[in-house]
Structure 1
C-alpha cells in the first residue's frame, strides 16, 4: 500500500511550500487498518510546533454524521422515525408555516431538503443554547418547496441535537459521547475548541492576509460552543478509528459497534447536490453527488465515493472513503487560502492507490485559487464609495444610540464613543462611519468584514429600527425600550379622569407591562420612549406623557397631530380593580 503512494512525503512537502500551508494532517486506511497517519508543516506556525497524528483539530461539519448516527440510534429504539413527520415525536418543534409543520421529517432535516435557507447568522457566534436555537426554527422562511432542492442548513442539525436531548434525556454531546465515542474507543475526541485548548497539541488557526502572502493568527471561533452541526474536535488518530468504522459498516476490531442499518440509512439517497465545483472551475472530479444524512455519495473517476467536508475559519477537513475498495482518507488543513487541499490531497491519494492515470488536481486548483484571489484583490482596489453627496444624518448621533432586537438574530447595540457610533453584534465590535442619510458603514475588517446599518424612523420622527443585510435578506431590528424603574411605576399607576369625567386606568398587567385602559376599550401597552413619555403599538402616532408636580404625578397628557388631551390624576383608584382586563397589543 505504501509502495503505491510513491514519494508521498515529497509531494506533501512541495504542497506546503507552493501553497504556503501552515499545517496539514493526512491519514489513510485500507480494509481494517490505518496505513498512514501523519502531519506536515506546523500545528502552530508561529511557534514552529510540528503537526502530528496527535494534533487536535476542529472537524467542523464532519460533526454532522455523528449527529445523524445519534438520531439513527433513537430511530432504532422506536423513539423517532426517519420518514414520519418529526412533530409526531416532538410537537414543540415549530416551522415557519403549517404546511412544514405537518410534513417535515427527520430525513428532510438531516438531508438539507426542507426548502429553508441557511440562516447561519442566527447561530453564528450567537452563544445561544440548543433550546434557544430550536425555538428560532419557526422564524426561518422557506425559499423552495419541501424536498425540491438541496439547501445546506446548519440550523436543522442544531434542532436535531436538541431533539436528541428531549427524547433521550441526555444532552447531545453526552449522548454522542456515551453512545458513539466511548463504544468506539475514541478517547481523543471532544466537543468544543475550549476542550481542545486544554490538550497537549491543539491546532492553531493561521490565515494569509487578504492582500499579501503573510500568515497571521486570527482568533478561534466560538471556543465554548458545543454544536451538533459542527463543533467536534479530534485527533487524526481518533478520526482514523471513525473512518475504519464507516468503511467496515459499523464494526471495529471484529465487534459491531454501530448498527449497520443505521449507517446504511445515512447513505440512502436524499437529494441531488448541485455540481458547484464544475460551475466554478469548468471541471469536476466528482459526478452525480447525492446527499444522504450527514454525508454524500458521488462518482469519482468511476468509483463510488462517500464523503463530507467541514469548514470553519482557518480549519478545513474532509472525511472520505471508497466503499467498494475499502480505501479511506482523512485530510485536515489549516488556512482558508489552501482549504481546497482537503479535497485535492484525497484525490491524489485515490489516484495513486487505484493506479489511475495521474491528474494534477493540486496544480489545477492552485491556478484557480490564485486567479480568484488576485481578482478579489483587484476588485477591492477598484472600489470607490458612491454616497449621495451633501447629506447628513437626520438626528444627532446620540439619537441612534440604543439596543435593538430581532426575534431570530437577537440583540444589536449601538453606542457612542468619542463622537463616533459603534456597532456591537455578537462578537463583532466595529466603528460606524456616516455614509449618507441614515446609513452608516463599518470599515472592511480583516476578520469580520464590512457591515452596513440603515436606521429608520417612526411616524413620530424618532429612530426606532436598524436594518442589516443578513442571510441574503433585510433583517429589521426594533429598538427596545428602556426599563422603567419600579419607583416611577409606583408613582404613575392609578386612575386618571378626562375633562368630561371618563375614568382610565394605568396599571401593570399579568406580564408586568404598563398598560392604559379606557372603559369598553382595548388595553394599550405603554412602551417607554424617553423620560416620562411613552408610546403605544395600538396608537403609533400618539405620545403619552405623565406630568409631574413636585414628587407626584398630577396628569396624563396624550397627543397626536390632530389634538391633545389631558387626564387629571384621581385619588380614587377603585376603577383599577373593577375594570375587566383584555389581551393587550404589545407589538
Structure 2
C-alpha cells in the first residue's frame, strides 16, 4: 500500500526542536501575562505522528495539580465529531439509517405537523439542518440533568419548527445530537456513552477519553477543574462541573491532548493510525464531507460549511476542518489542515480569556508549521491582540457587575411568599429557597443565589456561571407566588405549600 499524502509528510527533527523551543518559552510567558488562565495543554500533529504534546500551568490549583498532555479536560462540543462517527458506523453496519426520519424512529411521538418529522432525518440532525427547536431537551441534558429516556421522549413531542432556519438550512444547536443519542439508545439497546467507547475510543486507542464524568474521578485520572478568570474575587473555581447526567452527546466527553492528537491523525489519514486501518476510509470521508453551507467565523477561523460533526472553514486562506467546544470553565480547540497534513489541539480550563488564548496558540502553531516568515512579528502582534481582547472582556464584565450592583430589589412581597417548589412539564422542577436573606433557585444540578433585577417581582440568577437569567414571579390574590418564568420562556407552576 502506498502511503497517504499525510503519511508521507514526516517533519524534520530540527523543525520539531525549533517548534518545541519556541512554545516551551512562549506559553509560560503568555500564561503569566494573561494572568487568569490556570492551565493549557497543546498538541501538534504532522503527517501520521504527534510532533509535540505538552501541558503548562495548573489543571487544579486547589490540589496543586499541573496540566500535562495526559490531563483530562472537558471538551464540550468537540464531542460532536465522535458522536457523528459512531452513528455513521452503525449506519454502515446496517443497524441504523442516517437517512431515516424522526417519525420512523419515534412512531409513538405526536409531533407538531409543522415539524415535518417524516422528513427530518438523522443526517439533518447531525448536520444542524433539521430546522427544529426544543430548548427543554437541550436544557435538561446539558445543564439540569433532570431526565430519563421516558421524560426526553415525552418532551420530544413539544418540538417546534425553527423559524430562523428551515429544514435544509444550517443553524448550530445541540438539539440534533441530543435526539440522535436518543435514537442510538433506543435502536441498539445500549447507552450512547458505551457505544462511543466500543465503536470509537477503543479502536482509535484513546486511553483517557470517556463520556462518563465519574470515570476520571473513580480511576484517579488527572483532571482539569473549571475556572472563571473574572469573578468578583478574580480567578475563581466554577461551581458547575459535569456529572454523568449532564454528559450529553452534543457535549459530553473528557479527553487529553495526547488522545485528541491521535484523533486528528485518524482524520488526516482517512481512518489509519499506527499502520492500521481502524475505521473505513469512506466513513471518515463521509463525516468530513460538506452537508450544509454557512458563513461566519470564530475568532480568526473562518467557517464556510458543516459536515457530520466537522466545520469546513479557513485560516488565513488555508483550508481548515475544525470543531471547538465551550462551557463554563472550559474551552477546546481541535482542527486540521488536510492540504498540509497538519493539525492542532488546544485545551484550556478557563472559558473567557482562555477561549482567546486557545485561538492564539492554535494560530501560532499553524504559522510556524506553514513556514510563515517573521515569527517574531507574528508572536508580538498576536500577543498584543490577545491582551487587548482580554482587557476589553475584563472591562465589560467588571462594568456589568458594577451596574448590576446599583440595582435595588423589586420584590413586592416578603421573601417567603416566593419560596416553594415549581414544576414545568418541559423544564423540570425548580426549588426556590432563602439563602443569606436572598432568594435562591435550584433546578437539578444548577443553582444560584439571586441579585436584584429591574422589573417588579423579578430576580437575576446565574444558574449557568457567567450567564444571567431573569426569574419573574406572578403573585396570586393571597400575595403569594403562583408561577415563575425564566427568561420569559420556561414557565413553572407552583405546587403545594
**Equivalent of 2:361, from 326, 340, 345?**
345
The 2-side partners of 1:209 and 1:333 are apart by 15
Separation in 2 of the partners of 1:12 and 1:433? Answer: 38
Match of 1:106 among 110, 117, 122: 122
Deviations 1:84-138 (A, max 9, x none): 4233344346655444312211121111222335724333332234623344233
Mapped partners of 2:280, 2:166: distance in 1: 29
How many residues are aligned here? Answer: 468
Contact 1:65 1:293 in 2 (8 A): yes
Quote the Cα distance in structure 1 between the aligned partners of 2:107 and 2:192: 19
Residue aligning to 1:57:
73
Which of 382, 393, 396 is equivalent to 1:375?
A: 396
Secondary structure of the 1:411 match is strand
Distance 1:167 1:433 in 2: 45
2:197 to 151, 154, 177: 177
Describe the superposition over 1:58-89 as per-residue Cα deviations: whole angstroms up to 9, x where unpaired: 12111111110111012112333333423334
1:94–1:101 Cα contact (<8 Å) kept: no
Alpha-carbon distance change, 440 to 23 in structure 1, aligned in 2, over 3 angstroms: same
Q: Quick check: 1:66 aligned with 2:82?
A: yes
CA 1:377–1:97: 2 relative to 1, 3 Å: farther
Aligned match for 2:431, one of 407, 413, 416:
413
How big is each residue's C-alpha offset from its partner over 1:442-470, in whole Å with a ceiling of 9 and x where there is no partner? Answer: 5668947554332225689874321111x
2:260 aligned with 1:239:
yes
Secondary structure at 1:104 match in 2: coil
8 Å Cα contact 1:130/1:162 also seen in 2? no
- Give, in whole Å, the separation in 2 of the partners of 1:163 and 1:194: 24
Is the partner of 2:231 in helix, strand or coil?
coil
- 2:98 is matched with which residue? 82
1:271 to 292, 301, 324: 292
Map 1:109-508 onto structure 2 (within 5 A): 109-117=125-133, 119=135, 120-129=138-147, 131=149, 132-141=151-160, 142-147=162-167, 149-198=169-218, 199-211=220-232, 214-225=234-245, 226-277=247-298, 285-336=300-351, 337-357=353-373, 358=375, 359=378, 360-383=381-404, 384-385=406-407, 392-393=412-413, 398-415=416-433, 421-431=439-449, 439-442=457-460, 447=465, 450-457=468-475, 463-469=481-487, 473-480=488-495, 482=496
CA contact (8 A) 2:451 2:459 kept: yes
The SS at the match of 2:393 is: helix
Report the structure, 1 or 2, having the larger helix content.
2
Unaligned runs of 5+ in 2: 1-14
C-alpha separation in 2, matches of 1:108 and 1:446: 29
Residues 126, 309 of structure 2: 8 Å contact kept: yes
Q: Quote the Cα distance in structure 2 between the aligned partners of 1:78 and 1:350.
A: 39
Q: Distance in 2 between matches of 1:274 and 1:463?
A: 45
2:166 match: secondary structure: coil
After the TM superposition, which of the residue ranges 129-138 and 333-342 deviates more from structure 2? 129-138
Q: Distance in 2 between matches of 1:105 and 1:424?
A: 35
Deviations 1:270-305 (A, max 9, x none): 33344254xxxxxx6333421112111112222211
Instruction: Give 1:244 deviation, angstroms.
Output: 1.2
- For normalisation by structure 1, the TM-score amounts to 0.72
Shift of 1:189: 1.7
Contact 2:230/2:394, CA 8 A, preserved across alignment: no
Could you say which structure has the greater relative contact order, defined with CA pairs below 8 angstroms and 6 or more residues apart?
2
Task: Specify whether residues 285 and 93 from structure 1 end up closer, same or farther in structure 2 by C-alpha distance, changes over 3 A only.
Answer: farther
Q: 1:150, 1:274 within 8 Å by CA — same for their partners in 2? A: no
Higher mean C-alpha deviation, range 333-342 or range 313-322 = 333-342
Report the aligned-residue RMSD. Answer: 3.0
Deviation of 1:259 after TM superposition, in Å, equals 1.7
- Where does 1:529-568 land on structure 2 (aligned, <5 Å)? none
**3-state SS of the aligned residue for 1:405?**
strand
d(CA) in 2 for partners of 1:52 and 1:431?
35
DSSP 3-state at the match of 1:158: helix
Q: Measure the CA separation in 1 of the matches of 2:372 and 2:453.
A: 57
Q: TM-score, normalized by length of structure 2?
A: 0.84
Asked if 2 retains the 8 angstrom alpha-carbon contact of 1:25 and 1:332, the reply is: yes
Q: How far apart are 1:431 and its partner, in Å?
A: 4.7
SS in 1 for 2:321: strand
Deviation, 1:45, is 2.6
Match of 2:44 in 1: 28
Secondary structure of 2:118's match? helix
- Does structure 2 retain, via aligned residues, the 8 Å contact 1:288–1:299? yes
Separation (CA, whole Å) in 2 of partners of 1:13 and 1:392: 52
Aligned to 1:290, the other structure's residue is in SS state: strand
Match of residue 497 from structure 1: none
Q: Distance in 2 between matches of 1:78 and 1:117?
A: 28
Are residues 288 and 423 of structure 1, via their aligned partners in 2, closer, same or farther at CA, if it must alter by over 3 Å? closer
